């Protein structure tokens, strides 16, 4: 019924009248847009017992998909011990890419993740500070707080016990 009825002829008329004439304008308007990537730099694995550390630099939610992610070590581009993924579509016009750097940490070195994308005229540089990642810091703070609270409650309980015991204090 839809394929033979007057509704189809009206829809075809609209397609020819409006959509086809504006397609080039609308399509180029979308393709000219750029969205700056969100960058996340974190430690995947700490160095231990002669094994290297692994850093991961991730770029999320960027458009267009053409992007260059690379590493600098003391200002020089790193070409070995780097593994990167291809640009992956998120299914919503945005893309993501991940790059891993395997390295042995040395004192005083400067490691940076560099992202070059059409949305930025200058390369976006994120420096690794070598400290604990955010989730590591929060675990340490929560653990230390629990330890201090345990000591305080144990001391209060001991004092209460000694006061209530006949003839001890």
What pLDDT does residue 8 have? 74
Give residue 106's pLDDT band: very low, low, confident or very high (50, 70, 90): confident
Nearest to 56, CA basis, from 124, 13, 103, 107: 103
Give residue 123's pLDDT band: very low, low, confident or very high (50, 70, 90): very high
- pLDDT greater than 70 at residue 167: no
- Could you report the per-residue pLDDT of 40-60, keeping only the tens digit for each? 999 888 878 888 889 999 999
What pLDDT does residue 29 have? 63
Average pLDDT, the chain: 84
* Residues 6+ away with beta carbon under 8 Å from 35: 61, 62, 63, 94, 119
Q: What share of the chain is helix, strand, coil (3-state, %, to 5)?
A: 35, 35, 35
- pLDDT greater than 60 at residue 84: yes
Nearest to 112, CA basis, from 132, 124, 129, 127: 127
CB 128 within 8 A of CB 41: yes
């Amino acid at each position: 019924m839809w394929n033979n009825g007057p509704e189809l002829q009206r829809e075809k008329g609209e397609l020819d009248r409006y959509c086809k004439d504006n397609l080039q304008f609308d399509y180029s308007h979308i393709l000219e847009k750029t969205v700056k990537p969100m960058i996340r730099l974190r430690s995947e694995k700490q160095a231990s017992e002669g094994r290297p550390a692994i850093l991961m630099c991730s770029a999320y939610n960027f458009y267009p998909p053409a992007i260059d992610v690379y590493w600098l070590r003391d200002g020089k581009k790193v070409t070995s011990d780097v593994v990167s993924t291809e640009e992956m579509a998120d299914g919503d016009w945005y893309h993501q890419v991940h790059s891993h750097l395997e390295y042995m940490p040395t004192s005083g070195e400067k490691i940076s993740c560099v992202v070059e994308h059409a949305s930025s005229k200058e390369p976006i540089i994120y420096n690794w500070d070598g400290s604990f990642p955010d989730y590591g810091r929060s675990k340490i703070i929560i653990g230390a707080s629990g330890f201090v609270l345990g000591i305080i409650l144990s001391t209060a309980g001991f004092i209460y016990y000694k006061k209530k015991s006949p003839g001890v204090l």
